[in-house]
């Protein structure tokens, strides 16, 4: 099964083992970069998700509500970030198995445009809808 990657345009005349390996590396690099960014962001915003101090005399009631709201938003953002990291990990596993770029549901090729938009996407457009 040929390896596919949206970032590399493989022409029919040019498909060689070397080409697939380059393409494979590009997919991996893109996914690993994305993963690193997410982990860094997660670590950088760790403090924003810390429990809000409710008994601080210096902080007024409204500010505390703001702080709680902000913390809730940060927690939600982090939850989505962790989901994306899990998707990246799953994509990396599919890459290892030579199944990257193929729909996990029906096995059809996922369009390059779709992969380009989201390299972690596991399904084709038909199965996603
Ligand atoms: Zn599908």
Using one digit for the tens of pLDDT, what is the confidence trace for 64-110?
A: 888 899 999 999 999 999 999 999 999 999 999 999 999 999 999 99
SS3 48: helix
Tell how far the Cα of 48 is from the centroid of ligand 1, in angstroms.
39
Among 31, 6, 8, 28, which residue's Cα sits nearest to residue 111? 6
How many Å apart are CA 119 and CA 114, to the nearest integer?
8
Residues with CB under 5 A from ligand 1 (ion): 103, 105-106, 108, 124, 127
Q: How confident is the model at residue 21 (pLDDT cuts 50, 70, 90)?
A: low
pLDDT tens for each residue of 5-20 = 654 444 444 444 444 5
């Amino acid at each position: 099964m040929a390896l596919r990657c949206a970032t590399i345009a493989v022409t029919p005349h040019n498909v060689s083992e070397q080409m697939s390996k380059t393409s494979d590396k590009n997919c991996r690099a893109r996914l690993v970069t994305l993963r690193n960014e997410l982990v860094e962001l997660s670590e950088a915003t760790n403090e924003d998700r810390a429990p809000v101090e409710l008994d601080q005399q210096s902080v007024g009631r409204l500010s505390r509500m703001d702080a709680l709201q902000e913390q809730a938003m940060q927690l939600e953002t982090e939850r989505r970030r962790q989901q994306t990291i899990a998707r990246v990990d799953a994509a990396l596993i599919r890459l290892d198995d030579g199944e990257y770029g193929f729909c996990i549901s029906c096995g059809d090729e996922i369009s390059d445009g779709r992969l380009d938009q989201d390299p972690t996407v596991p399904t084709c457009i038909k199965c996603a809808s």
